[in-house]
Chain A
Amino acid sequence: MSELLIKNGFVFDPLQGIKGDRMDIGVKDGRIVEAGALANPKTIDAAGMTVMAGGVDIHSHVVGPKVNVGRLFRPEDKLFKSPLKRCNRMEMGFSVPSTFKTGYDYARMGYVFVNEAAMPPLHSPHVHEEIRDTPIIDNAAMPVFGNNWFTLEYLKNNEIENNAAYTAWLLRATRGFGIKVVNPGGSEAWGWGLNCEHIHDPVPYFDIAPAEIVKGLIETNEYLGLPHSVHLHCNNLGNPGNYTDTLDSLRLAEGYAPKNEFGREQVMHVTHLQFHAYGGDSWKNVESRTKEIMDYVNAHDNITVDMGQVTLDETTTMTADGPFEHHLRAGNNLKWANVDVELETAAGVVPYVYSPKIKASTVQWAVGLEIALMSKDLMRTFLTTDHPNAGPFTRYPRVITWLMSRAARDATMKTFKWLDRTIESTSIDGIDRELGLYEIAQMTRAGPAKALGVSNIYGGLAPGMDADVAVYALDPESMPSDPAEIEKVFGRCAWLVKDGVVTVRDGEVVAEPAKRTVWVDVKVPENAQVQRDIYEHFLRHYSVKLDNYSLFEEHLHNPRVIEVDTTQ
């Protein structure tokens, strides 16, 4: 394989603590190497440019059944909103792009790894079919556990070992990556049209509360020592006054310490925190409670969070939080799709318009930014839009711009119809903080890679790691005075090297190196009880046969397996 030398760029690599030093990055056989180790490399001149590892997205809905419902039932998301073809395949859609557009657009932004936020286990063959058709970027997918009948039964009886054995089995069956929890208990309650809004509301029939589910899953996760922690979407998402429930959920991690061999330091990742940090008791008097939430997060090292930043676009909401989507459709009265999945989970999809003319939207916008701007540790606070829920991932460059520039925030706020009331209800106007490139690198690669437990492969530029390098035409020594320029630069990287292959040049995709499916294979001792439970549920309650449920090897594409052995 060819050698590459990325010369003279300003390198930002938080995993190694490199803060904009002028350095050369060597690439050989798909790996990062010492620049001196190259014999006869091709050179990329990165002088006057910013060099970072390929981006890592910890939470994005890009592949799977609910994403595809969003595509299917919104033809209007394509009309006049799709760019003309300029790669191998057409690129359709805006808020829920086609798989091809997803891969190409992430690559153009300099991203190389995207973690699908919620995989219904029963639908795993579908998820893997879409992964096959998503070019360039490596994907992992997290199966959902928070409403799974096996999990609920084991945790009710405090059988962590059994739950761990089941978890290991399901990760292998679905070729999944980690433990996702969405509205624990609430989506099962939705099977009867009900919900669990607070962490102590009992789940109908199963007689367990969300708090016990979350704690049990943290214990399971650390018992197994998985690369990633429990990845939690809290109860009572998106409702004014929910910050107290969020604080209750955050406190569930107290007393737990991470146990793993992957460099992960948190026991709980709380996702799209923006949707969970509201005060007030209605959308009329909704207010930001980011300060209370971030004070807690800042003081507790065993928690990581991501933003879920509202981008003020027309988008498509989709979540395994079935009751929430039903609630949302009652709010905006738009079309509503719902899929309850037997024994496992639920999902809903509703289009949504976040507008600078609507106070709820602009308050949400402010709350999201406050999360990052109030964070004391950006290695624990990650940039997401909960794509496509708060906005499409293609707006990350704009979010970066808001974070890096007070002027950019002011310019956006000038478009708000309810500016005064937004300022009154939030702290955004009192925050002058502007993040630097090092902090952006923390939020978009180093931090997420570490939290996912893959920081030995992704998110950094140390020798031995995957040769995933993004070069942005941005000179840290003379940053552009116009914030719009920053957005442009992060939207179309100057170069992306993926697996040592020049993939993007001047913002255009020039190659499609083979993408990977990253999954976690956990070895656990034989567990006859769990085997029997699995057999029984498939015999009586599933609508598919056990032997047809686990993903067939032929439907797993270019796997990269991370092995965990608990039997040692």
Chain B
Amino acid sequence: MPKKVENVGCPYCGVCCDDLVVTVSDDGKKILEVENACAIGNQIFHHATGGERIRLPRLRQPDGSYKEISYDEAVDYAAKVLHNAKKPLIYGFGSTNCEGMAAAAKVAEKAGAVLDNCASICHGSSFLAIFDNGYPSCTLGETKNRADVIVYWGANPAHAHPRHMSRYSIFPRGFFTGKGHKSRKIIVIDPRHTDTAQVADIYLQVKQGHDYELFDAFRAVVRGHEIPDVVAGIKREQILEVANILKKARFGTIFYGMGLCHSDGRNHNVDIAISLTRDLNDFTKWTIMAMRGHYNITGPGAVWSWQYGYPYCLDLTKRDIAHMNPGETSSVDLAMRDEVDAFFNVGTDAGAHFPIDAVKHLKKHPWITVDPNICMASEISDLHIPVGIVGVEVPGIVYRMDNVPIQYRKVIDPPEGVISDEELFERIHKRLCELEAEEAAKGQVKAAPEGVRAESEP
């Protein structure tokens, strides 16, 4: 009898649906059916057992081909790359569990690496705004139970977060929102008339790159000031109308996406969005939330914050103190300046996402990809180490876009012999310690010279 596994978390987007039902074949080797998931989530499960998987690490040969090697050899290779590099970069982590992120941080600290995650090229500008202005937010269930006004600004969940609107924002009936969609006003603000805009009660086609001005206008109106006839391509009357809706809401949530943090203004757009949320809280209740992309891209920000106090762009190369300075310690900037001499691509695809010049620089040095699948990064790597797919073959904790931890399950075993990210990094860490010990025995320790250290008491 095929077995049904219920309450399965989905390893696709930041919505982190945890209501999937997955049917597994008799022998536990094949995924037969996935219920409740969106088309993309569905595909991730079917892909796991649908086609050929990489089952062993693959090492690049002089002729350019890949040769399969054992995990022990791969761990040794990876540890040696880290050990010999002056400034390795370990990047990615959008698609793995927090246990893996914690283990990777241990490796990065031991190796003196730069540790960064996909926020660096995504919601990193949100972090900059949050550092400056805070983050008045809530969990998604709050929005579902209370919100009567929803704003999507520069976000298109209809495509990027397929079940966001039905689970949390527009359609669900919550405790104080028994009428569901009918009891809510939906405002979509976007330069493009997206599929999300189609379900909006009010759609404002903001002039591209002028989001900041529109926020400014809303703030001015909310605070009782005059505004010009047209701002950012939107007529004054319409701004007044929307501002009035915002102010009269019982509970509202602004969901914003890449449209704010990757168009002109970037972190400043997010900053003023937060300021508008703050202002509105003088009148009623408003919250704001970043539409985080991958299912656990919120994870590294959480894990590394409790471990080091910084969510991304962590420079651990000083070995005794962590340092964060986006622009200086961010992955793409480091790569563009050709400052790193080894690269780990973990649970993401820097080959596809980074600017080509950055990729070219990184390619000059050892490039190791840790990922269950073949992707652009894996195809240009010197070493590709396959790992189990989190949420399908490996359980663990992931953080939803609202920072709520979701406990993911395993529905099938990984292909025979394939290990988890966590185990891989633990083994690399162990090997690194051995290498250091070997070197210490030879009397060539790389550690900093003995000397007077600054008194650190603040």
Residues of chain A having any CB pair with chain B under 8 Å: 63, 65, 67-69, 71-75, 77-78, 80-86, 89-90, 92-94, 96-100, 122-126, 129-130, 133, 149, 190-193, 205, 326, 329-330, 334-343, 349-350, 540-545, 547-548, 551-552, 554-555
Question: Are A192 and B139 in contact, with the CB atoms below 8 A?
Answer: no
Cβ of A338: which chain B residues have Cβ within 8 Å of it? Answer: 134-138, 287
Instruction: Give B427-458 as 1s and 0s: 1 = Cβ < 8 Å from A's Cβ atoms.
Output: 00000000000000000000000000110111
Cβ of B319: which chain A residues have Cβ within 8 Å of it? Answer: 85
**Which residue of chain A has its CB nearest to the CB of B16?**
A544
Query: Bound complex: CA of A555 vs CA of B98, how far in Å?
Result: 11
Contacts A/B (CB < 8 Å), 25 sampled? A65-B403, A68-B305, A72-B127, A72-B130, A73-B130, A78-B310, A78-B324, A90-B316, A90-B320, A92-B310, A94-B458, A123-B405, A125-B397, A125-B405, A126-B405, A338-B137, A340-B138, A341-B139, A343-B141, A343-B145, A349-B134, A350-B134, A540-B173, A552-B395, A555-B397
Q: Within the complex, what minimum Cβ distance (angstroms) separates B173 from chain A?
A: 8
Instruction: Give B272-285 as 1s and 0s: 1 = Cβ < 8 Å from A's Cβ atoms.
Output: 00000010011111
Question: Are A92 and B102 in contact, with the CB atoms below 8 A?
Answer: no
Q: A130-B306, A191-B285, A342-B139 are in contact. Are A89 and B109 (CB under 8 A)?
A: yes
Cβ of B139: which chain A residues have Cβ within 8 Å of it? Answer: 122, 339-342, 543
Number of chain B interface residues as a range: 35 or more
Query: Bound complex: CA of A524 vs CA of B6, how far in Å?
Result: 28
Question: Are B407 and A552 in contact, with the CB atoms below 8 A?
Answer: yes
Query: Bound complex: CA of A551 vs CA of B407, how far in Å?
Result: 8
Instruction: Give B109-150 as 1s and 0s: 1 = Cβ < 8 Å from A's Cβ atoms.
Output: 100000000000000000100111111111111101110000
Residues 280-323 of B contacting A (Cβ, < 8 Å): 281-285, 287, 301-303, 305-311, 316, 319-322
Cβ of A149: which chain B residues have Cβ within 8 Å of it? Answer: 175
Pick the residue among A83, A98, A336 that contacts B134 (CB under 8 A): A336
Q: A125-B405, A133-B102 are in contact. Are A85 and B320 (CB under 8 A)?
A: yes
Cβ of A554: which chain B residues have Cβ within 8 Å of it? Answer: 395
**Besides the known contacts A125-B405, A191-B146, 5 further A-B residue pairs in the complex with CB atoms under 8 A apart:** A98-B308, A126-B399, A339-B139, A340-B142, A342-B144
Sorted nearest first, the 8 A-B pairs with minimum C-beta distance are A342-B141, A83-B456, A335-B134, A543-B141, A193-B285, A340-B138, A85-B320, A125-B405
Question: Are B308 and A337 in contact, with the CB atoms below 8 A?
Answer: no
Cβ of A96: which chain B residues have Cβ within 8 Å of it? Answer: 309
Question: Are A72 and B301 in contact, with the CB atoms below 8 A?
Answer: yes
Residues of chain B having any CB pair with chain A under 8 Å: 6-7, 9, 18-19, 98, 102, 106, 109, 127, 130-142, 144-146, 167-168, 173-176, 250-251, 278, 281-285, 287, 301-303, 305-311, 316, 319-322, 324, 395, 397, 399, 403-407, 453-454, 456-458
Cβ of A98: which chain B residues have Cβ within 8 Å of it? Answer: 306-309
Q: A85-B321, A125-B405, A548-B9 are in contact. Are A99 and B306 (CB under 8 A)?
A: yes
Question: Are A547 and B7 in contact, with the CB atoms below 8 A?
Answer: yes
Query: Bound complex: CA of A86 vs CA of B456, how far in Å?
Result: 12
Question: Are B302 and A555 in contact, with the CB atoms below 8 A?
Answer: no
Q: A92-B309, A542-B141, A543-B144 are in contact. Are A78 and B322 (CB under 8 A)?
A: yes
**Which residue of chain B has its CB nearest to the CB of A126?**
B405
Query: Bound complex: CA of A547 vs CA of B407, how far in Å?
Result: 10
Question: Are A133 and B306 in contact, with the CB atoms below 8 A?
Answer: yes
Query: Bound complex: CA of A423 vs CA of B382, how far in Å?
Result: 71
Q: Within the complex, what minimum Cβ distance (angstroms) separates B34 from chain A?
A: 16
Q: A85-B321, A340-B287, A343-B145 are in contact. Are A71 and B406 (CB under 8 A)?
A: no
Question: Are B308 and A68 in contact, with the CB atoms below 8 A?
Answer: no
Question: Are A72 and B305 in contact, with the CB atoms below 8 A?
Answer: yes
Pick the residue among A84, A99, A542 that contacts B454 (CB under 8 A): A84
Question: Are A84 and B453 in contact, with the CB atoms below 8 A?
Answer: yes
Cβ of A542: which chain B residues have Cβ within 8 Å of it? Answer: 141
Query: Bound complex: CA of A73 vs CA of B136, how far in Å?
Result: 12
Q: Within the complex, what minimum Cβ distance (angstroms) separates A92 from chain B?
A: 4
Query: Bound complex: CA of A65 vs CA of B397, how far in Å?
Result: 14
Cβ of B322: which chain A residues have Cβ within 8 Å of it? Answer: 78, 82, 90, 92
Query: Bound complex: CA of A206 vs CA of B323, how far in Å?
Result: 47
Pick the residue among A81, A125, A337, A543 that contacts B407 (CB under 8 A): A125
Question: Are A133 and B404 in contact, with the CB atoms below 8 A?
Answer: no
**Which residue of chain B has its CB nearest to the CB of A335?**
B134
Query: Bound complex: CA of A418 vs CA of B173, how far in Å?
Result: 55
Query: Bound complex: CA of A208 vs CA of B139, how far in Å?
Result: 24
Query: Bound complex: CA of A98 vs CA of B287, how far in Å?
Result: 27
Question: Are A541 and B174 in contact, with the CB atoms below 8 A?
Answer: yes
Q: Within the complex, what minimum Cβ distance (angstroms) separates B11 from chain A?
A: 14
Q: Within the complex, what minimum Cβ distance (angstroms) separates A380 from chain B?
A: 33
